[in-house]
Copies of this chain bind each other. A is one copy, B any other.
């Protein structure tokens, strides 16, 4: 799976994403990094403190980010920024984000689910599929909304991310329609 960072300067996907956030959002606290993950609709990471704080600590030990204690009011806090070395590790990841194996096939829980759907009566299976289609329909709406929210960004990338979510959801819906048709008696 994701390569460990011991041998070279390779980064796991979460490490790279954190480096990316620090790179993009300039000096920022770990709390802000967490927020970025928590607000993102991608379900892979929760942005839990227990993940982010130690990870950023490790990045600093490896010299990929550095921090400066700034005092906002009375409370001290640490603002992190990416170092040149971190920047180069990040670029290396951008140039080789993952092997073909990882990039290739997405894990779709619905695929697992459908695989066993004939353990249920046909008509029930069909109505469950209809339900899933509805849920995904709402997901489409959310993606469109998300897209509109980034309509005026200078960089198109956030918009494109929302577009990714939209296209994937639509593809799944079309697939589920096929599934439903295949489940006719």
Contacts and interface: CB of A to CB of B under 8 A. Distances in A.
A55 interface: no
B24 A94 contact: no
Contact of A13 (B97, B112, B119, B160): B112
- Chain A's interface size range is 35 or more
Contacts of A43: 101-102, 104-105, 107
A16 B112 CA distance: 9
A167 B169 CA distance: 11
Nearest to A176: B164
A71 interface: no
B168 A112 contact: no
Given A107-B42, A135-B100, A157 B115 contact: yes
Nearest to A157: B115
B107 A120 contact: no
Interface string A137-177: 01100100000000000011110110111011111101100
A61 interface: no
Nearest to A41: B105
B107 A94 contact: no
A3 interface: no
A73 interface: no
Of A20, A41, A42, A109, most buried by chain B (CB within 10 Å of CB) is: A109
A91 interface: yes
A59 interface: no
A44 interface: yes
A112 B179 CA distance: 29
Nearest to A162: B111
